[in-house]
Amino acid sequence: MKRFQTAGATLAYEVSGAPDGPLFVQTHGLTSSAWREHRAGLDVTGALRGFRVLRYDARGHGSSTGRAVAVDYVWPRLAEDLLELLEVVAPGERVHTGGPSMGTATQLYAALQDPQRFASLSLLVPPTAWATRAAQAESYLRSAELVENEGMGAFVRVGESVLPPPALADRPRERVPAVSQELLPSIFRGASLTDLPDKDAVASIQTPVQILAWVDDHAHPVSTAEQLHRLLPDSQLSIAETPEDLATWPARVAQFVHRHRS
């Protein structure tokens, strides 16, 4: 993996695929990493042809470094990291992006900060937002306190009792966060401090958007996906209920991205 230094963190990243093709950026979710998303079936690059693929670990996650500072992990800051990394990997290029949850939020904030940079956005399992965010924020604060007071093992044991969404029924469960015990409380507190952009800002995004959601996941409710679909002027929505539905996502993303290939 290569390394990129940004304010307060060193980001680990790699670029693979067709050397001269347009760039697709695969993002990941909270407490995950680029490689972990691949194992979990949320890396949607498998059906892309003729593209370069940028995978990177967000600050504090996977092989990237970070600080124990909560505001370092709010979503606008993660969007700035992405834009700075793109200046190194693909200066001046319009790119395509895709990824789940925290990665979805990163994409939205980045598209607002630099609209001309993005040719398409693929938003996977959008997280709680707006009306549903406050309860999730409280959950993150409780998790931060649990890790500080009782350690990573206690947090993992609590997570073992949570059933996965039906679409993930046949996927291996990654129970241990791809984050150090030292940084995890700050990362959770950063998540508690942040929300999706306000609805008027979201509605101003002109980039073509594909939204892929799944059912029965309180941290990633279908209601967020549906609200985004209503707000975004050029969007399409698909909802997965089974592992077979989830298995179609790489093909859906490939078709969508090729349709909007610059």
* Residues 17-38 pLDDT 10s: 999 999 999 999 999 999 888 7
In whole angstroms, give the CA distance from residue 103 to residue 182.
22
Check which CATH number belongs to the domain holding 14 and give it. 3.40.50.1820
Rounded mean pLDDT, 160-178: 88
Closest CA to 214 of 243, 190, 187, 194: 243
For tokens 């507190």, what's the residue?
Answer: 189
Instruction: Residue 118: give the domain boundaries.
Output: 2-259
CA 156 to chain centre: 21
In whole angstroms, give the CA distance from residue 25 to residue 72.
21
Closest CA to 122 of 113, 114, 132, 111: 111
Give whole-number Cα distances, 164 to 32, 126, 192, 226, in Å. Answer: 15, 16, 22, 21
pLDDT of residue 262: 65
pLDDT of residue 94: 97
In whole angstroms, give the CA distance from residue 117 to residue 94.
5
Single-letter amino acid code for the residue at 90: A
Handedness of CA 98, 73, 222, 113 (dihedral sign): negative
Identify the DSSP state of 42.
-
Handedness of CA 40, 41, 46, 52 (dihedral sign): negative
CA 167 to chain centre: 18
In whole angstroms, give the CA distance from residue 81 to residue 67.
14
Q: Hey, what are 85's tokens?
A: 């990394």
In whole angstroms, give the CA distance from residue 25 to residue 27.
6
N residues, the chain: 262
Total structural domains within the chain: 1
* Residues 85-138 pLDDT 10s: 999 999 999 999 999 999 999 999 999 999 999 999 999 999 999 999 999 999
Rounded mean pLDDT, 42-58: 94
Instruction: Report the chain's mean pLDDT, rounded to a whole number.
Output: 95
pTM: 0.97
Rounded mean pLDDT, 57-63: 98
Strand duo 52-56 + 23-26: pairing = parallel
* Residue 193 phi, psi dihedral angles, 5° rounding: -85, -10
Q: Hey, what are 113's tokens?
A: 């900060």
Instruction: Decide: helix, strand or coil at residue 168.
Output: helix
What are the DSSP calls for 57-91, one per residue? PPTTSTT----S-GGGGSHHHHHHHHHHHHHHHST
- pLDDT at residue 197 greater than cutoff 90: yes
Instruction: Decide: helix, strand or coil at residue 252.
Output: helix
